[in-house]
Amino acid sequence: MHSYSLIAPAKINLYLEIIGDRPDGYHELAMILQSIGLADYIDVHSISNDTIRVHSNHPQVPTDNSNLAYKAAELMTRQFPEAFAKYGGVEISINKQIPVAAGLAGGSTNAAAVLVGIDLLWKLGLTQSELEELGATLGSDVPFCVSGGTAIATGRGEQLSPLPSLDKIYIVLAKYRSLEVSTPWAYKTYRQEFGNSYIRDTNDLAARASAVHSGEIVKAIALADAGKIAQKLHNDLERVVLPAYPQVLQLREIFANQEGVLGTMMSGSGPTVFALFESEQQAEQVKLHVREAISDEDLELFVTRTITHGIQVASSI
């Protein structure tokens, strides 16, 4: 096989709690991550020389070594030099459907797809956990994007514990195309404003992180109860992002006032806001209502749903 086409799903956060500072400078987090049907499409091809090339249909996606997908390929060449020498370089094509800089792990899922694609291309036979371990060196969201589904993430987000997968809870995503929120800014601002409430003891950090395992939202996920899940949505970063970004707050408020919305929240550090629904019809209706309420062409709206998987192979040649 000389080429693989892969589906790289986006993710949302159903829960994000900041517990305290870690010794490595990151935050100790307790999160629940969920794969969704909105996805990018990644082609990974063998090429005869020893280079890495990245192409994309989206003008905002970098094609140099600042792209996380490029970094993923670079990592594989370092980790498996014999395979690199045997099979040669790779050409990566990114068909971008996930909004850029949206807090939906678009870059991370592209990197995860490249790891999976090169593993197959070079016949490395890596396990899922080995791919996740490689992914963790690239970014906190990459391990989850490899496996996908529904999971509790602790540490800085790279330590995963699978949960029963949620399927077919419908979602509307809303994101202003030109609006970006810096993730480092969001966490730094949260630390400045709420750092006095952080747990300082390392043992307590671990204990508090594990407490989400018995949380109400985990019970609701185990029952696949969309209504109860929606009632327990939580994101600490809303405390700093919503006051600073009135457009994000406006989206959240509009969703909250729509009939049929089970619950609404900002995903990750934003600026994407999502709403949960029991049916696709309700989701489509609310999408239309939000479009009528906000006629700004800069606003992107998507209807999607929860899915049970991460990276998938679409085809191979």
Tokens of 40: 């990018």
**Dist CA 150 CA 12 (whole Å):** 10
CB 138 within 8 A of CB 75: yes
Nearest to 252 by CA among 269, 230, 275: 275
286 is in an annotated binding site: no
306 is in an annotated binding site: no
Nearest to 133 by CA among 173, 187, 79, 184: 79
Any catalytic annotation for residue 188?
A: no
Catalytically annotated residue among 11, 71, 96, 287 = 11
308 is in an annotated binding site: no
**Pairing verdict, β 234-235 and 263-266:** unpaired
Any catalytic annotation for residue 40?
A: no
Beta bridge partners of 265: 274
101 is in an annotated binding site: yes
Nearest to 238 by CA among 267, 258, 276, 263: 267
109 is in an annotated binding site: yes
100 is in an annotated binding site: yes
103 is in an annotated binding site: yes
46 is in an annotated binding site: no
Catalytically annotated residue among 71, 141, 175, 232 = 141
Q: Which residues contact 218 (CB under 8 A, 6 or more apart)?
A: 32, 152, 163, 212
244 is in an annotated binding site: no
Annotated binding site: 99-109
Catalytic residues: 11, 141
Annotated binding site for ATP: 99-109
